[in-house]
């Protein structure tokens, strides 16, 4: 039975499933308890990964909106000025809060500075997108592992079920 408990400790299973150790459990019950606990653990990890991806994707969307506003707020010479626009000031402050390197108190950017600002925002978006790709790959591996656990459970339960049927036929 220890081979089935590779990812989940026996104490964890006993605690999570409220197993009464005084009660006799058959092999089927033990296998189901172990596999159920393993599935719950994978589901929790999968949900956490999905939530991380969603959060980062929302940040990327917000950064794209900031990029759009920067690009649409430049004058004909490429100068970017937020002195008279409190909404843009908030967006630039939000970009700073999201990790974009922006000097405190800066309210005007010449064309080159604006291009560097835009590039910094794009790099941050790429960083988030790369992290999302990695998490999506991890999520796919977890889904594959979940499927393997289902298949393992079926391969454990079928012979036990067949054995019970055969014993019942011999009795009858």
- Residue 76 within a domain: yes
Which helix (H) or strand (E) is 69 found in, with range? helix 27-72
Range of the domain at 11: 2-142
- Paired tokens of 49: 């990964």
- Residue 25 within a domain: yes
How far is it, in rounded angstroms, from Cα 43 to Cα 48? 9
How far is it, in rounded angstroms, from Cα 125 to Cα 122? 5
For residue 4, CA distances in Å to 10, 99, 122, 154 come to: 10, 44, 46, 13
* Counted domains in the chain: 1
- Residue 159 within a domain: no
The whole-chain average pLDDT of the chain stands at: 87
11 confidence band (pLDDT: 50, 70, 90):
low
Q: Is the pLDDT of residue 14 over 70?
A: no
109 confidence band (pLDDT: 50, 70, 90):
very high
- Only one residue has tokens 């067949």, namely 162
How far is it, in rounded angstroms, from Cα 149 to Cα 49? 19
User: Which pTM was predicted?
Assistant: 0.71
- The string of pLDDT tens digits covering residues 112-137 is 999 999 999 999 999 999 999 999 99
């Amino acid at each position: 039975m220890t081979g089935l408990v590779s990812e989940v400790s026996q104490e964890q299973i006993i605690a999570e499933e409220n197993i009464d150790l005084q009660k006799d459990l058959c092999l089927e019950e033990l296998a189901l308890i172990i596999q159920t606990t393993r599935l719950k653990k994978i589901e929790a990890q999968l949900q956490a990964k999905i939530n991380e991806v969603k959060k980062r994707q929302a940040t990327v969307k917000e950064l794209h909106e900031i990029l759009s506003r920067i690009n649409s707020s430049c004058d004909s010479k490429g100068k970017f000025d937020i002195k008279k626009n409190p909404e843009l000031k908030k967006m630039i402050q939000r970009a700073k809060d999201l990790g974009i390197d922006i000097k405190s108190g800066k309210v005007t950017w010449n064309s080159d500075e604006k291009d560097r600002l835009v590039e910094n925002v794009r790099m941050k978006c790429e960083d988030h997108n790369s992290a999302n790709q990695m998490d999506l790959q991890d999520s796919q591996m977890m889904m594959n592992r979940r499927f393997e656990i289902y298949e393992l459970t079926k391969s454990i339960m079928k012979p036990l079920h067949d054995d019970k049927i055969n014993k019942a036929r011999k009795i009858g």
